Amino acid sequence: MTLWPEAVRDAEPLELVETEIVWQLRQDPRMTALVAGRVYTAIPPGAPFPLVLVGDSTGGNFNRCRHAGVNATVTVRASSQARGTWEVHRIAGLARMVLEGLTVTPLGPYRWATWTHDELVGPVYTDDLGGIVTVHRPVTFRVRVTVA
């Protein structure tokens, strides 16, 4: 008996989850007003701020009633070069509102995917990018992708 049906053997669930997050955030008019569509899985060189980076994804299998799925963890990081933390809090909070409780049916060849916010949020942090202080706030989501 195989847990992974033929239809999903060539589909990478983490790729589908990240792509769906980017699509959901880019489609939200409030997020567009904040970051002008700058939601990426890899930041292009010279991209202006503020922006959102989707990534740092991990996944583990779960088995359910002779079927399989993936428990994914994905970080959505708001980044800003505005002075203070107000802008990253606004962007990260909106990302949470857009994605928390989201259910996508189907997600590619998978039956469905459900997003929940992970309360263990990393702290706001700063770094120096070429002499410009950049503020980051990560928000973590757990996504259960189910085959059947």
Residues of the chain with pLDDT > 70: what percent?
86
The mean per-residue pLDDT over the stretch 45-58 comes to 91
Domains in the chain, CATH or no CATH each: 6-146 (3.30.2000.30)
**Rounded CA gap, 102 and 117, in Å?**
10
* Strands 67-80 and 132-146, bridge-based pairing: antiparallel
CA distances from 37 to 29, 88, 110 (A): 9, 15, 27
With b for 16 or more beta-carbon neighbours within 10 A and e for fewer, the 70-95 pattern comes to: bebbbbbbbbbeeeebebbebbbebb
Bridge partners for 125 per DSSP: 136
Residues of the chain with pLDDT > 90: what percent?
49
pLDDT at 1 over 60: no
Sign of the CA dihedral running 26, 75, 130, 132: positive
